Structure 1
Amino acid sequence: MESGTKGRRSDATRNRARILEIAEECFAEHGLEVPLDTIAKQAGVGAGTLYRHFPNRETLIAALVADRIGDLQQIHHDLVAAKLTAGTRLERWLEAIRTWMTSYDGLPDPLREAWEKDATMLGAHCRPVVDMTDQLLRDAQQHGDARPDLSGRDLYLANLGAAWAASAPLADSKSGASIVDILGSGWRATTP
């Protein structure tokens, strides 16, 4: 009986990994609006199997974002150890979180919604990003590279707004770079 249980668990683990792999591909290629049933079909599992692992789109997105948080943590670790100015470290970090926020077409909306609801799975994965931003910002503030009146949350939300705006229907091919330039000049300390 125990070997049957282990077999079911390994099947479940394999199915979950396959669903995440296909969801990653589908979301990267087509955005977050891909029907979950399409993901299940391409993963070679039934819709029930997908929904057993991921009861809704938010839980699936949260699982994918959680995987990418590890990448961000490594980038943060590397930046903290890098022999760069505090301002350069913060600038590179902000570039990394903008890249993370635009991993999939439509991701800024769920990231924004995660802040509006209490204790969502996706929100729980976003909070460490704010904490890492705070750490690099404080260092930049102590070195006079960043304005003293800002918080990591401010910079996270500004980057989230920029990620959303760069993909808005009103945006053109230059909008993303313009917004990033405005953001960059907005957090930097001014010299007297």
Structure 2
Amino acid sequence: MRADALRNRERLVEVAQSAFATNGIDTSLEEIARQAGVGIGTLYRRFPTREDLIAAVLAERYLKLAEVALVLAEEREDPDSAFTEWLALLVEHMALYRGLSLAVKEAMHDHTTALGRTCKEMMDSGERLLTRGQQAGAFRADVSFLDVLALSSGIVTAVERRSEKPDASDLPPLNPYLLLDVVLRGLRVEDR
């Protein structure tokens, strides 16, 4: 890739990160291109679909989540605490960009898409942590990682939807960590 093309790509990803954090993943691609100082054609040459741009924005974060899972598996003797800490990080990440949790939920079943491929390593590492906990007898054996990921996505979506309601100020805020604790209690063998 030429130096100017590489700069354009990096600038588009940087602007998209900021725009997604502010306005969610449905931010106008035209606005992202404008803020990056490139034409919409340049954006589409680098990222043919919105999902390709989302995948580029997430790639580094998902790689870090996969690395954190490996570190937790090595450093924590207790598989429950390792998976709990990792899952809390995942929920925090999914909450960074409004609409991301639904996009990840859709992509997690299709690893042929750019977002699905970006999610795969992160998902594999999370699944290894869950399996480790299941083998140690800490977590229910009848729950898959996809089940846990869907529930995590549901937590983030519920929190987002509550805050988007016109009367949101009249409603108590949803606590994602409390909801995650409920999910984890249902996952743990000892809490059944």
TM-score calculated relative to the size of structure 2: 0.86
Task: State the distance in 2 between where 1:146 and 1:85 align.
Answer: 12
Q: CA RMSD in A?
A: 2.1
**Structure 1, 13-22 or 152-161: larger mean CA deviation:** 152-161
Task: Report how many aligned residue pairs link the two structures.
Answer: 185
Q: 1:115 to 1:80 in 2, by over 3 A?
A: closer
Q: Which residue does 1:72 correspond to in 2?
A: 65
Q: Which residue does 2:180 correspond to in 1?
A: 180
Q: Give runs of aligned pairs for residues 86-101 of structure 1, distance below 5 A.
A: 86-101=79-94
Long gaps (5+) in structure 1? 1-7
TM-score calculated relative to the size of structure 1: 0.86
Q: Which residue identity does 1:127 align to in structure 2?
A: K
1:35-68 deviations in whole A, cap 9, x for unaligned?
A: 1111111111111111111122111111112221
Is the Cα contact below 8 Å between 1:22 and 1:43 reproduced in 2? yes
Long gaps (5+) in structure 2? 166-170
Q: Which residue does 1:190 correspond to in 2?
A: 190
Q: Which residue does 2:20 correspond to in 1?
A: 27
Task: State the distance in 2 between where 1:57 and 1:21 align.
Answer: 15
Q: Which residue does 1:42 correspond to in 2?
A: 35
Instruction: Name the SS of the counterpart of 1:167 in structure 2.
Output: helix
1:75-125 deviations in whole A, cap 9, x for unaligned?
A: 112211213411100101111111222220111121122246572111122
1:127-168 deviations in whole A, cap 9, x for unaligned?
A: 222221221112112222111222222212221222212211
Say which of 53, 71, 88 aligns to 1:60. Answer: 53
Provide the identity percentage: 35
